[in-house]
Amino acid sequence: MVRAIKNSQRTGIVTVIFAVSFVFFVVVLLSKNDRTNSYISHNPMLDRRNQILAMAGPGKDLTPEVRAVLFEYLSGPKVLEYNFTREEKAQIINFLNGKK
């Protein structure tokens, strides 16, 4: 009888430890996902890159204001930070040169 109680207590303790560990793991995992998702959705460089591509997209008009903004965003070493593909670079250059 005493052994049965001790085994039962051991099983209960192991169950509690497992449950606490599982809950801790889930909380840590969810907090990591929240930080990763907030970084991805609030990356100012990525937002600016998408904004540049949208401004220089097909069917867009090259106004003096758009031209000034694009030159400001793309001046000097800033252009390297956006990691444009060759096609995207060509799209932007053609847009700035008035080619559609």
Structural domains counted in the chain: 2
Which is higher by pLDDT, 51 or 20?
51
Are 80 and 92 members of one domain? yes
Q: What are phi and psi of 88, to 5 degrees?
A: -70, -40
Are 48 and 37 members of one domain? no
Query: Distance (Å, rounded) from C-alpha 71 to C-alpha 60?
Result: 16
Give residue 65's domain range: 44-96
| DSSP 8-class letter at 75 | S
pLDDT of residue 91: 92
The length of the chain is 100
The token pair that represents 69 in the structure block: 């903004």
Q: What is the pLDDT of residues 21-66, one digit of tens each?
A: 666 666 667 776 555 555 555 788 888 999 999 999 888 888 999 9
pTM of the model: 0.54
Which is higher by pLDDT, 5 or 53?
53
Are 92 and 49 members of one domain? yes
pLDDT of residue 22: 65
Are 66 and 29 members of one domain? no
